[in-house]
Structures are given as C-alpha cells and as structure tokens.
C-alpha cells in the first residue's frame, strides 16, 4: 500500500459529515499530518496510529436516536486532547455524562458566538466579550454539560457553542470551524493541533518525498513496476516519484483512448520520453474505443466501456512486457489520492470496489496478481501539485485543471464520434487559451467545454447553419468537494464565444453554465 508511519499525527473520527474532509485539509494546512477514519473502525485506527490528538467530526445522525454513532472508549481513556465538532460535541458530551436534547430551535447557516471565557482554543484570535461569526448546522443541542466542562462561548440558539474541560484538554464547538464560512476556523484548528496538542508544523512535501522514496525502494526491492499512466496530474506525479526511487525498474503504459484534450497525448509522450527519459509504452487504441462507444448515449455505460477497454488493453501490454526476458512486473502503480481512500472505507457505503472510477478509468483486476504501489494515497489533490513542483514537473502541467479518466467522452453527451470529439477539442482549446490570456487559469479550479447533443439553426453571414451548441463551464473551488461557477464578465464571454464560433466549424452557439456544485455531490461533468 506504500504507506508511511507518522509518529506525530491527528486522528479524525468521521461521523458522516459531508465536510469531514475539510477538517483534514485545515489540519494539513497547519503543517500536521492527519487521517480520517469512520467511527466504526476508529478503534483499530486509533491503536495503529497512536495519534497525539483526536477530532470528532460532525454528522447527520441524532445523538438521541438508538444506535447512533459513538466514539471508541479507548479514545477517552488515552488522556490525549480531544476536539468535538457539532455532532462530535454532542456524542462527546453524551458519552461523558451530559445531556443532548432535540426539539429546540435549530441553527443553520451564519451565527455569531459571544466569548464568555478565555481559552487556548482561540488564543490570539478572539477576546472575552467579543462576538464573532461562525457557521452552524444543527438541530439537537447540548442541554447539560458533563462534569468538569465549562461554557466558553454561546450563540442565540446554542447555549454551549463552545464548551471545554481544560484540565482534560477536551474541547467542543457546536459550529463548524472547518468551513470557509467560519472566518477564523482554520486558525482555531491550528491552535488545537499546535497549542493544545503540541505538534509542530513538520508535514512538508520535501520530507514526504524523501520518506516515500525510501519506502518505495524498500517495498519494491529489485522488482519491476508497471504504471497505468492516464496523462493526468496524479498518475504522472506518481510515475515521476517512483522513477526517482527505482529508475528503469519502472515502465509506464500510456493507453491513449483518443479522448484527451488537443495535443495532450503528444505532450505527455514528449515529457516522459524526452524530459524524464522514463520507459514509456504508448498504445494508440483510439479506434478500438470509438468503435465500442459507437451509438452509446448513457454516460455511465460509456464510463464502463472505457474502463473495461482500458483494463483489457493495459493487460495485453503488461503481458508483452512480462515476456520481454527481463522478468514479469510484480507491482502496479496507481495515482490513488487520499479522498479516494476515504471514500473506499466510508461507513456510509462508499464504492470501495471502484476507487477512482471517475478520475481513472480502470481498477486492478485480481487476475493480474500484482501488488499495488500508491505513493500518493496520503495526499489531497493540492498536495499532489505541491509534490509535483517539488519533483520539478513543469508548472503548466502541474497546475493543469482536473481531467476525468473517461476524458472528452463524458463532455460529449450523447453518442461519441471522432467528428464530434474533434469539434470539442478545438472549442475547448480556444476556451482555455482565452482563460490563460485573461490570467484566470490559476484562479479557476476547473474549466472545460461541453458539446451538447443539441443542434440549432443559425445565420452566419449570408448562410444558414445547423450546428452544435457548445456549453462552457468554469468553477472555483479549494478542494473539489464544493464549487461555485466563476463570475466571468460579459466581455470575456463575448470574446470567447466569438472566437469559438469563428474558428471552430460545427458550432454556431455558445452558452455559459452557472450551476454550482453543492456539498456532497460527486462531480459536475
């Protein structure tokens, strides 16, 4: 699994909140390593990790309901600092002898907390007597604190907005410090891990790179590794890191399904072969993929077709490599990220069998009998970009917007044809070119064009046309969990639409999608 032991860490126990990953993001941003584990396997994770502190997340359940989630008793017996957030506050108080009740006024959205007493939790941030904005999301409330707890802050509908037992270093908040709508929330979490738990900011990509290289060498030894290279940032960073560790023991297999962005396949080949001199097998399987996809309009079926063919083509190439006289590869490298790992063990029933079914297009068939090497499985997407820069990958490549494994097939609703893909590639290239010229590429999390399965009548000059509609999408996000549309000005949209209509034959209308991506949704393609 290519994991690293982290002696100074934080365990986050997940009770099902849709923003639990944000807690981990804030802790990582504070320079401290952390892991998320669901409450129903938290005891095992706690024993294995030996964390220096624990954070209880929020969650959708009611503490008052029979069988609702609880934290393991071992956490309370350990004597280490604890922080409970929302549901985490409620279960902590319940398990320690307090009382939680429903039926009171709920709080959803913005609220103000009034500070009643000083605490190291907000030292240097908030003052006694002050009122500060936070983000609430609760129905039940604590009505009686456990022995030893004191009220630190209140809000209009949360008499125990912050409550703590300073002697045991137990802290609780009814609000969510992890979300951006709590302006000082990240600093509050930083105070917890630094001032209360006492950890240093030693979670760095330089240290991770050095330790992971050592780990890969120990794990692989003299064995050969195959990397399923998709051409995206994740698998590319993984490949460069592994190559730095074991050199030509790594062979990358780039299955080109013919649905990448304009010139992207050529860029990947040039970078890996010419710049990094990494052994690379390029398989142009575009005809095969397009033949199998012909006439298919269901997006999920298209994904499954692409995933199946990717595995079949990859297996065929792996068999060829295994017969080259240098010994069969014993390891398969993948660009699995930490959010994929979290989803795979989610107590809420995450799709563990299809990790990365969206970003990558194929998993590891058991029949291949290869061990996984996943050097990025502890990292979030933005941390992968930092590692890529640490490894010296070009900024234009490292900062590239996320691109799904099935590629343009899912940005071409309806049937996929070579003609439609060519039209979409050109429109997408014009769109991204305008974004770069406007200096917006790094401001936007993800931008792309979609060729809608709609044709409209238009007049261009003295001629009537019957061509496709192109939709443009651009969203801002920090972590990809939530996203909002980017508010382009009309001059930009007008200029971009004019270029696409003038330069891309087959499109006579351009629209802009202003849909947001709320918490809890999987994707927006």
Across 188-210, average pLDDT? 94
DSSP label of 148:
T
Q: Is the pLDDT of residue 32 over 90?
A: yes
Active site residue 6: no
Calculate mean pLDDT across residues 71-92.
96
Q: Which of 6, 35, 86, 378 is catalytic?
A: 86
**What pLDDT, in 10s, does the model give residues 372-394?**
999 998 898 889 999 999 999 99
Q: How confident is residue 350, by pLDDT bands cut at 50, 70 and 90?
A: very low
178 is catalytic: yes
Average pLDDT for the chain: 88
pLDDT score for 352: 31
* Mean pLDDT of the region 306-322: 92
34 is catalytic: no
Question: Please, which pLDDT band fits residue 275 given cuts at 50, 70 and 90?
Answer: confident
Helix, coil or strand: residue 495: helix
Spot the catalytic one: 176, 243, 358, 359: 176
Q: Which whole number is the average pLDDT over 18-39?
A: 91
Mean pLDDT of 249-272: 93
Question: Does 338 have pLDDT greater than 70?
Answer: yes
Token digits of residue 143: 């009505």
State residue 355's pLDDT score: 33
pTM over 0.85: no
pLDDT value of residue 518: 55
* Alpha-carbon distances, residue 25 vs 22, 190, 199, 308, 451 (angstroms): 5, 11, 16, 33, 34
Q: Is the per-residue pLDDT at 46 higher than 60? A: yes
What is the spatial order of strands in the sheet that 9-14 belongs to?
33-38, 9-14, 53-56, 82-85, 170-173, 158-165, 150-155, 107-115, 131-138
Q: Give me the pLDDT at residue 232, please.
A: 85
**Each residue's pLDDT tens digit, 86-119:** 999 999 999 999 988 876 656 677 889 999 999 9
Confidence check: pLDDT of 521 > 50 = no
Q: Which of 35, 178, 374, 378 is catalytic?
A: 178
- Give just the sign of the alpha carbon dihedral 55, 56, 57, 58: negative
Q: How far apart are CA 412 and CA 285, in angstroms?
A: 19
pLDDT score of 126? 94
The confidence score (pLDDT) of residue 525 equals 45
Give the pLDDT of residue 488: 97
Judged against a pLDDT cut of 90, whether residue 512 lies above it is answered with: yes
Q: Is the dihedral of CA 304, 404, 269, 212 positive or negative?
A: negative
């Amino acid at each position: 699994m290519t994991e690293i032991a982290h002696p100074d860490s934080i365990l986050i126990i997940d009770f099902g909140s849709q923003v639990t990953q944000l807690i981990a993001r804030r802790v990582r941003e504070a320079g401290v390593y952390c892991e998320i584990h669901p409450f129903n396997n938290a005891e095992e994770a706690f024993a294995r990790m030996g964390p220096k502190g624990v954070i209880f997340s929020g969650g959708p359940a009611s503490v008052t309901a029979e069988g609702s989630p609880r934290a393991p008793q071992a956490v309370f017996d350990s004597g280490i600092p604890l922080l409970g957030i929302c549901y985490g506050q409620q279960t902590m108080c319940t398990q320690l002898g307090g009382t939680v009740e429903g039926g009171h006024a709920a709080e959803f959205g913005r609220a103000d907390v009034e500070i009643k007493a000083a605490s190291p939790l907000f030292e240097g941030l908030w003052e006694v007597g002050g009122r500060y904005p936070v983000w609430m999301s609760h129905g039940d409330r604590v009505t009686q604190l456990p022995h030893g707890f004191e009220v630190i802050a209140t809000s209009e509908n949360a008499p125990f907005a912050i409550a703590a037992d300073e002697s045991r270093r137990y802290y609780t908040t009814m609000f969510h410090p992890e979300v951006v709508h709590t302006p000082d929330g990240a600093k509050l979490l930083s105070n917890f891990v630094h001032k209360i738990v006492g950890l240093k900011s030693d979670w760095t990509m330089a240290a991770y790179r050095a330790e992971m290289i050592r780990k890969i060498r120990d794990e692989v030894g003299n064995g050969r590794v195959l990397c399923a290279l998709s051409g995206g940032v994740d698998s590319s960073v993984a490949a460069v890191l592994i190559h730095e560790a074991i050199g030509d023991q790594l062979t990358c297999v780039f299955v080109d399904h013919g649905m990448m962005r304009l010139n992207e396949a050529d860029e990947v080949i040039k970078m890996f072969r010419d710049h990094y001199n990494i052994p690379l097998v390029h398989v142009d399987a575009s005809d095969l993929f397009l033949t199998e996809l012909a006439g298919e309009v269901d997006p999920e079926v298209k994904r499954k077709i692409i995933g199946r063919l990717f595995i079949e083509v990859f297996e065929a190439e792996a068999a060829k490599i295994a017969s080259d006289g240098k010994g069969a590869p014993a390891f398969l490298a993948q660009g699995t990220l930490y959010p994929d790992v979290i989803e795979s063990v989610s107590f809420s029933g995450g799709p563990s069998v299809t990790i990365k079914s969206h970003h990558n297009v194929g998993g590891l068939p058991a029949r291949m009998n290869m061990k996984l090497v996943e050097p990025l499985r502890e990292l979030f997407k933005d941390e992968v970009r930092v590692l890529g820069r640490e490894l010296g990958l070009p900024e234009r490549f490292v900062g590239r917007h996320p691109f799904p494994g099935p590629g343009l097939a899912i940005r071409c609703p309806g049937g996929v044809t070579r003609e439609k893909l060519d039209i979409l590639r050109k429109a997408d290239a014009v769109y991204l070119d305008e974004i770069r010229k406007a200096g917006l590429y790094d401001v936007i999390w993800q931008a792309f064009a979609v060729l809608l399965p709609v044709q409209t009548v238009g007049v261009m000059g003295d001629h009537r046309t019957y061509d496709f509609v192109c939709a443009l999408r651009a969203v801002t996000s920090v972590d990809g969990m939530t996203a909002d549309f980017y508010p382009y000005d009309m001059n930009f949209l007008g200029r971009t639409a004019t270029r696409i209509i003038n330069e891309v034959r087959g499109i006579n209308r351009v629209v802009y999608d202003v849909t947001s991506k709320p918490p809890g949704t999987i994707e927006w393609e």
